[in-house]
């Protein structure tokens, strides 16, 4: 994977690239495996930038894909990030439902992990979040111990 020098560059040629933000990384390993990692203590601006980069998976030319969300590096969930997070999944629910086949979410332990788990229930995600068996094309994207 290669770093994109800017978000515009990432959007122009995403395959095999990643965009590095202040407290996140959004990547497109291939057209069928996209994801992000977040760490530290992101604020609302960090989250908005991350979700803007995540729209790589919402584009008309984006194939249906598996999404890997690695949130193990998060140390704190700022309440100001709830609004932008909910707005993204709500506004994009119809496209997310079509584009995301499955999501694997790696969560930290403790309170931060519990908050993330609760968000998934409150937001009523439009796509399968915790698959138990490989299917829908995700089996071929097994990576880093993630069982789709």
The structure tokens listed for 32 are: 């069928």
pLDDT in tens, 37-72: 999 999 999 999 999 999 999 999 999 999 999 999
The structure tokens listed for 44 are: 């609302």
CA atoms within 13 A on the CB side of 84: 17
CB 46 within 8 A of CB 54: no
What's the pLDDT score for residue 139?
52
Quote the pTM value. Answer: 0.85
Which of 7, 40, 35, 10 lies closest to 23, judged by CA?
Answer: 40
Pairing assessment for the beta strands 65-74 and 33-40 based on DSSP bridges: parallel
What's the pLDDT score for residue 81?
97
Q: Which CATH superfamily groups domain 2-141?
A: STAS domain (3.30.750.24)
Extract the residue ranges of the chain whose pLDDT is less than 70: 129-148
CA 75/CA 86 separation, integer angstroms: 20
């Amino acid at each position: 994977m290669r770093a994109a020098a800017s978000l515009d560059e990432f959007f122009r040629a995403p395959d095999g690239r990643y965009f590095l933000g202040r407290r996140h990384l959004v990547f497109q390993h291939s057209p069928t495996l996209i994801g992000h990692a977040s760490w530290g203590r992101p604020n609302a601006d960090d989250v908005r930038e991350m979700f803007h980069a995540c729209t790589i998976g919402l584009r008309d030319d984006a194939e249906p894909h598996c999404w890997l969300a690695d949130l193990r590096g998060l140390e704190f969930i700022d309440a100001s990030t709830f609004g932008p997070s909910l707005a993204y999944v709500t506004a994009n629910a119809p496209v997310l439902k079509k584009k995301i086949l499955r999501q694997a979410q790696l969560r930290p332990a403790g309170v931060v992990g519990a908050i993330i788990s609760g968000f998934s229930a409150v937001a009523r995600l439009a796509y399968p979040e915790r698959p138990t068996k490989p299917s829908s094309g995700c089996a071929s994207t097994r990576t880093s111990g993630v069982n789709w």
